[in-house]
Amino acid sequence: MNLTLKIWRQKDSKTKGQMVDYKVTDISEHMSFLEMMDVLNEQLINAGEEPVAFDHDCREGICGMCSMYINGEAHGPDRGVTTCQLHMRMFKDGDTITIEPFRAKAFPVIKDLVVDRSSFDRIQHAGGYISVNTSGNTQDANATPISKHDADEAMDAATCIGCGACVATCKNSSAMLFVGAKVSQYALLPQGQVEATDRVKNMVAQMDLEGFGNCSNTGACEIECPKGISLENIARMNRELLKATFKS
Let me know: does 180 contact 162? Beta carbons within 8 Å.
no
- Residue 130, interface with another protein (CB under 8 A)? yes
The pair phi, psi for residue 124, each rounded to 5°, is -65, -35
Residues 6 or more apart in contact with residue 205 via CB below 8 angstroms? 126
- Residue 176, interface with another protein (CB under 8 A)? no
Q: Which of 19, 42, 209, 245 binds another protein (CB under 8 A)?
A: 42
For residue 60, the Cα-to-chain-centroid distance in whole angstroms is 14
- Residue 25, interface with another protein (CB under 8 A)? no
Binders of another protein in range 228-247 (CB under 8 A): none
- Residue 57, interface with another protein (CB under 8 A)? yes
- Residue 204, interface with another protein (CB under 8 A)? no
- Least Cα distance to 236 among 172, 150, 122 occurs for 150
Binders of another protein in range 98-117 (CB under 8 A): 110-111, 114, 116-117
Q: Least distance to another protein from the beta carbon of 55, Å?
A: 7
Q: Least distance to another protein from the beta carbon of 244, Å?
A: 18
CA distances from 83 to 185, 210, 246 (A): 25, 25, 42
**Distance (Å, rounded) from C-alpha 162 to C-alpha 177?**
10
> For another protein, what does the binding mask look like between residues 146 and 165, x meaning CB under 8 A?
xxx--xx-xx--xx-xx---
- Residue 55, interface with another protein (CB under 8 A)? yes
- Least Cα distance to 118 among 197, 13, 215, 198 occurs for 13
- Residue 75, interface with another protein (CB under 8 A)? no
Residues 6 or more apart in contact with residue 18 via CB below 8 angstroms? 8, 9, 10
For residue 208, the Cα-to-chain-centroid distance in whole angstroms is 18
Q: Least distance to another protein from the beta carbon of 218, Å?
A: 26
- Residue 60, interface with another protein (CB under 8 A)? yes
Q: Least distance to another protein from the beta carbon of 70, Å?
A: 16
Contacts with another protein: how many residues (CB under 8 A)? 77
- Residue 193, interface with another protein (CB under 8 A)? no
Residue number, 70 or 215, with CB nearest to another protein: 70
Specify the DSSP element, H or E, that contains 109.
strand 109-111
